[in-house]
Structure 1
Amino acid sequence: MADKNRSVSIEDLPSHLIFEILTTGRLSAVDLACLELTSRTFGGSHGLYPQKFRSLVDFAAYQLCVSHRVYSGMGWNAQKGLFGRCEGNWKRVLRFLQAVEESSGMVKTSASNVFTCGDNSSFCCGHNDTNRPIFRPRLVEALKGVPCKQVAVGLNFTVFLTRQGQLYTCGTNTHGQLGHGDTQDRPTPKIIELLEGVGSVVQIAAGPSYVLAVTDNGVVYSFGSGSNLCLGHGEQHDEFRPRAIQTFRRKDIHVVHVSAGDEHAVALDSSGFVYSWGKGYCGALGHGDEIDKTLPALVNCLKSHLAVQVCARKRKTFVLVDGGSVYGFGWMGFGSLGFPDRGVSDKVMRPRVLDSLRARHVSQISTGLYHTVVVTNQGQMFGFGDNERAQLGHDTLRGCLQPTEIFVQETADDTGLASEGK
């Protein structure tokens, strides 16, 4: 009779069950690497995988990669390129894919209903019964029952990305930024029918008057204002209909993320390469000069790094690499570029690592006009730049050149206590 009190170690489990645990998708690439180092069970041979894999963990990482949304949508050349960039290490490929997903800004909720608030004078909040400000978050009725996973906001228009990969837009349409083939304003969200048949949209970004949309096959579509060359077609005229950027239609380029700045745009491909285009003011494109780029151009200074996120705003750009380091370039913008040894209006012409964050492993970065916030893999937040309106979460600072931690105080509601003083 078996001893019910005997403890069971993971080594006692059947190998196929161990493999199933490893491939549930709940473990990160770092978790897998730690398991491989700490137990022969995960590093040894079990006859469950081809000999070309180094260990059970390596085979599990491979299985997680091939089932990942980004990797499975890549062509053979793009997959081969990423594997080579990761030095033939499937755990590193998985770490790259998970880091891109973590920094994407996508939301996962049960209902995915969208609520909006703010100035609705251009109907960019999606409520056509009033053009007055919406002071409290209000459900967008036109999207009720349409699950959304991302929202991007321009100067006076809004773009909604659904779980099914479709786009809805509303608001001002002066430059065709709503993507319906005309310049007619839309008071409530309307689906962009012109994108049907091009693939499922997986990520969006909105500039002041233009939109970038990434499809599951790695192609980028742009529409709206072409005044700052941000559409990436080599021309400055407006595009009323979504148009594919031809640079990203090459078989070896599969874009996974884009960021829309005020006067320039940045893209990240599946090999961790960074591309930029638009106005080159203050070195925001990262090419060491201020020359405009009419078409997306590879940022050669970052070729040796595996980038996982790009973030652009007014004349500045940030690039997060897979080791958790952040590179910044462009206009300092009241210190929002994060280099305390540079003046608040200086230019940083080439990508430069933020030394003040070297001790932190950054997992996501977001920047506004004059301030920037980063989140670490430990859940800490750091902000720098202008703080005139307390946008950095500090009531004692006017501005901050050095990244300073933002502390969120727990309230009674945060800890689950009732307001009656229990």
Structure 2
Amino acid sequence: MGDRLRPVSIEELPSHLILEILSCGRLSAVDLVCLELTSKTFGGSHGLYYPLKFRSLVDFAAFQLCTSHLIYSKMGLNSQREIYDRCGGNWKRVLRFLQSVEQSSEMVETSSGNMQITTGKYHTFLISNSSVYSCGSGLCGVLGHGPETTQCVAFTQIDFPPLARVVHVSASYNHAAFVMQSGEVFTCGDNSSSCCGHRDTSRPVFRPRLVEALNGVHCKQVAAGLNFTVFLTRQGRVYTCGTNTHGQLGHGDTQDRPTPKIVEVLDGVGSVVQIAAGPSYVLAVMENGDVYSFGSGANLCLGHGEQHNEFQPRVIQTFRRKGIHVVRVSAGDEHAVALDSNGFIYTWGKGYCGALGHGDEIDKTTPEILTTLKSHLAVQVCARKRKTFVLVESGTVYGFGSMGFGSLGFLDRRISDKVLRPRVLDTLKAHHVSQISTGLYHTIVITNRGQIFGFGDNERAQLGHDSLRGCLEPTEIFIKDEEADDELIM
């Protein structure tokens, strides 16, 4: 009996069992590094538990996690080799890149829990451990706190049904959309254009309401445009509703849709992995790395070399011809940005104020690689009103474009200045940034420790501070402490 209960050392476990422990679940690259540094078994070089071509058991486990990752598994062999080389032949670094890219448009894991930040025109939304908070202008009920709330001067929690866990939010203009862990979608705000997906357009939706037209459809992401909404399901299918003046709903016409309707062209092409909505256009990233665009071509944001509207999704040929596997896109007001599977950045559209980062203000009709950042491994791109941010693997942020209201965060530049090339945001160098989002004239970041910093315009309290009108230097933001009589932690 005593023998049955004796302690068993890790070395005595079958190698396949150890590997299964390491490569199942959601271990991060950082977790694997910690194991390698603190355990002789995981960090050894004897090759007892793994093929000799790998540096360690943890390295082998990281390789296994990479091969099963959705992004890596859909990359071509050349792209797989290139990202491995760019990561210095380190599988843990490849895994960290893949996981960072995945989280950039979803929830980021911080030491304070899972978080996501989303900035709108004059407001900001934060998901923190499945609860949602909003601040700023409450025009048309976009903040979700009811008809009596026209402005929130601090992050305030939004009421959702009991047990509802929010996993994604988008709120660019005057409406907001929330995805639940169940796959259900709730919306609130101005529904005069049917962008909230509810047939009643006579008054704003002041509190989050279930989009009943999507009953039985399980979503994972939403993207809010100016007067329309895009929904991405777990199966990679896309639905749209709202205004369709420029063909931004992707149905081959300009007819508005009061409730979500599937985009059939994309459904016939393959599985979509990410969506982004500009004011009147949409970008959709496919599982195979292609990018499709549709809607308004007025600002060259569709990437086809012309300014025609596209009423149906059309593939951006520049990426396809060059064999570029795009993994994420960001749709700005007048320009667009893409990130490929090797951490390279591409920009196109209007070059106002240097928003494309090429050292000038020249428009780009098709995607062009950002050469100044080729030596860096980018993990997130973020575009909005004439400005762009790029987050690189080290947690450093680069910004370029218009300084409008200080929303680029450079203290040595005037608010009317232009930054024509990518430049390190020195004011955040003391922090490892995990996610960034920028609105019309304000910007918010989340660090790997779960801290929230904001800078730029705060005229409508969109930075979550009551006393500041503007904020040139990144300043920490706090949320209401629900257990301390709703007082603000300052």
User: Whole-Å Cα distance in 2 between the matches of residues 404 and 413 of structure 1?
Assistant: 22
1:28 equivalent in alignment to 2:28: yes
SS class of match (1:248): helix
Residues 198-237 of structure 1: CA deviation (Å, up to 9, x unaligned): 1100000000100000000000000000000000000001
Counterpart in the other structure of 2:463: 392
Distance 1:7 1:333, change over 3 A: farther
Matches of 2:485 and 2:368, distance apart in 1: 46
Report which structure shows greater RCO (CA 8 Å, sep ≥6).
Answer: 2
What is the CA distance between 1:5 and its match in structure 2?
Answer: 8.4
Among residues 292, 296, 318, which one is paired with 2:367 in the alignment?
Answer: 296
Once the two structures are superposed, the pairs formed by residues 324-363 of structure 1 within 5 Å of their partners are 324-363=395-434
Number of corresponding residues: 415
Gaps of 5+ in 2: 108-166, 169-179
- Cα distance in 2 for partners of 1:55, 1:34 equals 13
* Corresponding residue of 2:72: 71
Which structure dedicates a bigger proportion of its chain to strand?
Answer: 2
Q: After alignment, is 315-324 or 5-14 more displaced?
A: 5-14
Give distance in 1, aligned partners of 2:213 and 2:381: 32
Query: Which deviates further from its counterpart, 26-35 or 163-172?
Result: 26-35
Tell whether the 8 Å contact from 1:15 to 1:46 is kept in structure 2 after alignment: no
TM-score by length of 1: 0.95
Partner of 1:197, secondary structure, is: helix
Q: Does 1:206 align with 2:207?
A: no
- 1:38 CA drift (Å): 1.8
Matched, 1:38 2:38: yes
What amino acid is aligned across from residue 198 of structure 1 in structure 2? V
Alpha-carbon shift at residue 413 of structure 1 (Å): 9.8
Q: CA deviation at 1:12?
A: 4.8
Query: Aligned to 1:276, what secondary structure does the other structure show?
Result: strand
- Residue in 1 that maps onto 2:350: 279
Alignment of 1:227-266 (within 5 A): 227-250=298-321, 252-266=323-337
One-letter identity of the residue aligned with 1:65: C
Q: What's the counterpart of residue 99 of structure 1?
A: 100
- How many Å separate the matches in 1 of 2:350 and 2:424? 22
Superposed displacement of residue 51, structure 1: 1.4
- Structure 1, unaligned runs of 5 or more: 416-422
**In structure 1, what residue type is equivalent to 2:24?**
T
The answer for the alignment partner of 1:169 in structure 2 is 240
**RMSD of aligned residue pairs (Cα, Å):** 1.8
Deviation per residue, 1:40-63 (Å, 9 max, x gap): 100223433221111101100000
Contact kept in structure 2, 1:123 and 1:131, CA below 8 Å? no
| Aligned-partner SS, 1:343 | coil
Equivalent residue of 1:379, what SS?
Answer: coil
Asked whether the 8 Å contact 1:361–1:376 carries over to 2, the reply is: yes
Greater displacement, 85-94 / 310-319: 85-94
Give the Å deviation of 1:344: 1.2
- CA drift of 1:280 comes to 0.4
Seen in structure 2, the aligned counterparts of structure 1 residues 58 and 236 have a Cα distance that, compared at 3 Å, is same
Deviation per CA, 1:160-193: give whole Å up to 9, x if none. Answer: 1111111111111110000000001111110111
Opposite residue 141 of structure 1, the aligned amino acid is E
Cα distance change of structure 1 residues 379 and 414 upon mapping to structure 2, 3 Å threshold = farther
